[in-house]
Structures are given as structure tokens and as C-alpha cells.
Chains A and B, each alone.
Chain A
Amino acid sequence: AIQMTQSPSSLSASVGDRVTITCRASQVIRNDLGWYQQKPGKAPKLLIYAASSLQSGVPSRFSGSGSGTDFTLTISSLQPEDFATYYCLQDYNYPRTFGQGTKVEIK
């Protein structure tokens, strides 16, 4: 199975900060990667698909980049509603695998 190594596992940031989360795949997965945001007690919400495509309705402060094995989710200016846990998911093959998650907390 492909391993997705996500970092950091948590971070503290202030409103307005630029935040970067990375995901590294244990093998090449082309651009078959999605980024999800999850808030407590809620289902995950898709932010980015195909590594860099913004899901409809998602604010443009979210962006994704990368291809092959290394991927990045960037929040250009952190907003209060962005404090949540973020996960990457490889859609390249089965079994599908998630990163361990990154909890973004208020500094």
C-alpha cells in the first residue's frame, strides 16, 4: 500500500498567517491527490482535487500544488473558520490511503 506521510501533525497559527501543509507519497502517484478539511463532528470536506484543482465553492485562499510524490496545501491568509484538521488522500490506486492529518490550531 502507498504510504502518505503528512507534516506537520499540528501547527499553531494566527489569523492572516500563510500556512503550508505537505504530503509525501511513498511512490509516484501522478497528480492523483485530494485535500480535505474536517471540523469536529463533521464529515470531511473536499478542498482540492487532482492535486491543484480548487473544488467548487472553496475560497481561493486555498491552493494545492505538486505532482509525483510531493504535494502541498497552502492557505494564503488563515481565517477563523479555517481552524480544523486537514488530510491528504491518494486516489492513485487501491487501497486508498490518507495522510495522518494536520491539526491547525489558533496561536
Chain B
Amino acid sequence: EVQLVESGGGLVQPGGSLRLSCAASGFTFSSYAMSWVRQAPGEGLEWVSAISGSGTGTYYADSVKGRFTISRDNSKNTLYLQMNSLRAEDTAVYYCAKHNTGTSSGVGGYWGQGTLVTVSS
């Protein structure tokens, strides 16, 4: 059974940093691209970043480019999102999601339960 479990969310001050993790199980992690998607309180869904199975290909939304870094450790079956220079508008629930195959494929049907990041002083 595919499982994705996010962690690392919490309260952080503006300008601060946070690293999110997504522990994956139930599939061959290194064979699949992964994405992060976020949802601000009361708002719609926003795609944030994606990474290829090998980790060599990465993509970002303009709103986070230069501040967020996506990475993965295939030996640990874990996806990461390093978030720096955080702003109030980064406050959201962050979901990790498994693609159907590589980065050109659809985001797919497996998502974690989400982790809440709150940026506030």
C-alpha cells in the first residue's frame, strides 16, 4: 500500500527556515517523480515544486524559486522541501504527492495528509 507521511511543519518567524519531509513506502521510491503542493487557509491548491526519481531534475513555482529547494534521499525513501526566507504568504498546508511515473507524468492519485506551516511573528 502506498503511503506518504509529511512532517516538519510548525510555526516559524518571517525570514526563517524550515525543512519538510515526506516519508514514502509501498512503492519503489526512486522510480517516481514527486511533487509538493500547498494550500493556504481557505484558498485553492498551488503546485510548489517537483523532482525527478533520480533527483537530477527539479522544477519550481515562480513564487518559491530561489527560496525553496526540493531534494530526495532515495536510500531513505524520503522527499524534502527546504524552505528559506519564509514569508507570511507561505503559510499553508503542504502536501507531498507521487507522480504516475517520471516528471512528465501526471501528479497522480497518491497524496500525503499534509503538514501545516505557519509563518508569523
Q: A43-B111, A43-B112 are contacts. A94–B50 as well, Cβ < 8 Å?
A: yes
Main SS class of interface, A: loop
- Beta-carbon nearest neighbor of A36 in chain B: B45
Q: Which residue of A is nearest B60, CB measured?
A: A95
Asked if A91 lies at the interface with its beta carbon under 8 angstroms from chain B, I say yes
CB nearest to A95 among chain B residues: B61
Given known pairs A43-B114, A45-B109, A55-B109, the reply for A98 and B44 (CB within 8 Å) is: yes
User: Quick one: given A1-B62, A95-B60, A95-B61, are A87 and B106 in contact (CB under 8 Å)?
Assistant: no
A residues 19-73 in Cβ contact with B at 8 Å? 32, 34, 36, 38, 43-46, 49-50, 55-56
- CB A23 to nearest CB in B, in angstroms, measures 13
Taking the complex as formed, is B113 at the interface, i.e. its CB lies under 8 A from any CB of chain A? yes
Q: Are A87 and B59 in contact (CB under 8 A)?
A: no
Residues of B near A74 (CB, < 8 A) are none
B108 at the interface (CB under 8 A from A): yes
CB-CB < 8 A to B112: which residues of A? 43
Bound complex: CA A96 to CA B61 (Å):
8
A101 touches B45 (CB 8 A): yes
Residues of B within 8 A of A (CB): 35, 37, 44-47, 50, 59-62, 95, 100, 103, 105-109, 111-114
